[in-house]
A and B are shown apart, each in its own frame.
Chain A
Amino acid sequence: MPINFKDVSFTYSYKTPFENVALNDINATILDKSFTCIVGKTGCGKSTLIQQLNGLLLPTKGEVIVDEFVVSSNRKRRTKKLANLRKKVGIVFQFSENQLFEETVLDDVAFGPTNFKVSKEEARKIAKECLLKVGIKEEYFEKSPFELSGGEKRRVAIAGILALSPSIMVLDEPTAGLDPEGTKEMMELLKKMNESGTTVIVVTHDMNLVLTYATNVIVMSDSRIVKEATPDELFLDNDEKYSLETPYIAKVVQELDKKGIKLDTKVIKDVKSLASEIARKRKNK
């Protein structure tokens, strides 16, 4: 099910002297089963946008439609029970490791399902599966979450959301603060989830990751959406830059282009595919 934003505006402290417009007339569709990245500079409204997805924030104007759910501040339009929507749309916030609280890793992950009338035993079974899925080994299950490293904690937090088996996973800067190895593991995990049918929505500043992993990109600027595109349209075929950082790969493609070497941007996703495309081009020359 796609997600539709219809004329969505959001103002913090609405109708007070501290009004602060964070979203301004957003119209967009996030495709079903896509790997969508939301990009834009700090303060442009990305985090506010994703909080509309499960009704943590209700749009000041307009509405967000997720499947049969309507998120709106209009009481007549709004779906009555947003709890079910929150099961469907799992949001992992920035620095999610700070949200862990249970005594053991396993209990922390099992906490979510027990809130949805799942028996404790069943919840622990689900928790085990989810922990293994995110690459947390069995010997960690009975440890305190606070004994884990930052990257491990974050994976436990993700398992906690996975345990609700959401069909849409939303992550706010999941790789911030992770080392390159941890970043790669995180993105590969999300890719795997996406391939098994979950819609993945990621807020990030790392354009290199966007180029490699995303199927769709939403560019935000000053509370508005300024562009919806695929990564190769955005970085490789387009001269407009929306003041985004150029991924390293795109820089190489552009420099080679200036020298008259035109690469097929459709096949380039990462360093490996870039290298083999360069090799192919050189052979044909």
Chain B
Amino acid sequence: MNVIEANNLKFSYDGKNDAIKGVSFSICSGKYYSIIGHNGSGKSTLAKLLIGLLKPSKDSLKAFGLEYNSKNIKEIRRKVGIVFQNPDNQFIGSTVKDDIAFGLENRCVPQKDMDKIIEEYSKKVDMFDYLDKQPEKLSGGQKQRVAIAGVLAMHPEVIIFDEATAMLDPKGKREISELIKKMRIDNPNLTLISITHDVEEAFNSDEIIVMNEGEIYMSGSPKEILSKSDELEKIHLGVPFLYSLANELNKLGIKVDDYSSLESLVNSICQ
């Protein structure tokens, strides 16, 4: 089932230049998508359209069959959650606990359930020990984990990560990707859309959409995209490390055919 459908979706900030130049795609329920592209390629604009912070033109974008208009936006936001890049812009509560509770309070979740939910999700993001801490006592990565807990606690059907791990340290990134895996096992219908320019991270997803200059440059499974790594280089996106090493070795006359994993690459070098 398609949860989100874009049909010739356009958007312009100034009415002259299109930041999104008529893209069409569909997001399927239960899949994990990565949208990659360099700075200024239109990925964040797309995220803001998907959550209804920017208004798409009529009939060009639908979520759960609903048009993005003032009548439906509440319903759409109930189903689509977003985690932004900068944790300072989304920390609302005076403590970690208040911050996670904020969304729940808006939905009138009873107090006794709320404590249980807060405990569960703060544990999931490894922030349980910090529940009474104020935001200024937390580092950027810790704040981001709280933001993620707040969104997860709302049980959305789609979660958009707008470069949400860009500020986390490697351990934090790993924890979040582990958490994503766990979430997907817990709830196979959960749809994830991760906006990132971390190519290595994107290769964990089911499908990659590559954006360039406001258009979809290409899309496909990580394997398909990997086989077109030279295309990624062309549009100034980083290529996976193993590919670039294989490429350099080939230039020096060492043929490396299989660079799908570190092991296979090392094996071909040793041959």
Contacts and interface: CB of A to CB of B under 8 A. Distances in A.
Interface residues of B, number: 41
B12 interface: no
Interface residues of A, number: 42
Nearest to B237: A180
B109 interface: no
Nearest to A207: B170
Interface stretch (A58-66, A83-91, A112-120, A271-279): A271-279
A176 B166 CA distance: 6
A43 interface: yes
A205 interface: yes
Given A42-B139, A151-B39, A180 B166 contact: no
B170 A43 contact: no
A116 to B, nearest CB: 30
Interface string A31-47: 00000000001110001
A142 interface: no
B248 A272 contact: yes
A243 B237 CA distance: 28
B166 A177 contact: yes
Interface in B49-66: none
A179 B253 contact: no
B191 interface: no
Contacts of B172: 41-42
Contacts of B251: 275
Interface stretch (B24-32, B150-158, B220-228, B238-246): B238-246
A261 interface: yes
B170 A180 contact: no
Interface string B70-97: 0000000000000001100000000000
A207 B170 CA distance: 9
A259 B236 CA distance: 34
Contacts of A95: 86
A259 B167 contact: no
A279 B254 contact: yes
A255 interface: yes
Nearest to A280: B252
B112 interface: no
Given A150-B39, A275-B245, A282-B254, A177 B85 contact: yes
Given A150-B39, A271-B248, A275-B245, A20 B137 contact: yes
Contacts of B242: 248
A181 B235 CA distance: 10
B266 interface: yes
Contact of B38 (A41, A179, A251): A179
Contacts of B254: 275, 278-279, 282
A180 B140 contact: no
A278 B244 CA distance: 14
A42 B168 contact: yes
B249 A278 contact: yes
A256 B271 CA distance: 12
B39 A179 contact: yes
A122 to B, nearest CB: 33
A52 B202 CA distance: 37
Interface in A161-188: 173, 176-183
10 nearest A-B pairs in the assembled complex, by CB-CB distance:
A180-B238, A42-B141, A275-B248, A245-B170, A43-B139, A248-B241, A181-B236, A179-B38, A279-B252, A179-B197
Given A149-B40, A279-B254, 8 more contacts: A42-B141, A43-B142, A180-B237, A181-B236, A181-B237, A252-B245, A256-B266, A256-B270
18 contacts: A20-B137, A41-B169, A42-B139, A43-B141, A94-B167, A149-B39, A150-B40, A180-B237, A180-B238, A205-B170, A244-B170, A245-B171, A248-B245, A274-B248, A275-B248, A275-B252, A278-B269, A282-B269
